[in-house]
Amino acid sequence: MNFSLQKITAPLLTEKISHYLLKAAYYFIAIVLIASGVLKIIDAGSLIAALTSAFPFVNENIRIIISSLIPFIEVLTGILLLLEIKKKEAMLAAVILFGAFTLFAVYGFIFGIEGDCGCFGNAVESSFGWGMIVRNSLFFIIAIINLRLN
């Protein structure tokens, strides 16, 4: 009897742990988006400098618009996720954001862009390199998993 009970409870326990890990990852994504957006709003200079280094051929006004919109979209997406409003759409936005950030990290690394990307404003040093690529890739993967399973 004890053996069959163990067979039944082990999958249930695994399922419960998976559920809580997925939920924790969901809220982690929301918090990362809100934090990075707010930090970019507080210090947009790093992001503007990174965009200028990466895309000197793009008009300055367009770079300023982009550096203003990205933090707003991040904070909005994070709040929608936290409040569980339009969860699928908000997580899709998170996937798109983290996908774009991953591509930007790869682009910056390939083209040797120096300095901070402005990912977390002035609070966290975020130089272009493998660390930035791995970090953004992990956020991207976590967001994809949440989009598929939630």
As a whole number of angstroms, the distance between CA 139 and CA 142 comes to 5
Give the best-scoring range by mean pLDDT among 41-50, 73-82, 141-150.
73-82
- The pTM score is 0.85
Under 8 Å CB-to-CB from 141, ≥6 apart: which residues? none
pLDDT in tens, 18-43: 889 999 999 999 999 999 999 999 98
Q: Among candidates 134, 136, 112, which has minimal Cα distance to 54?
A: 112
**Percent of the chain having pLDDT more than 90?**
62
The 10s digit of each residue's pLDDT in 49-70 is 889 988 999 999 999 999 999 9
Cβ contact 26:150 at 8 Å:
yes
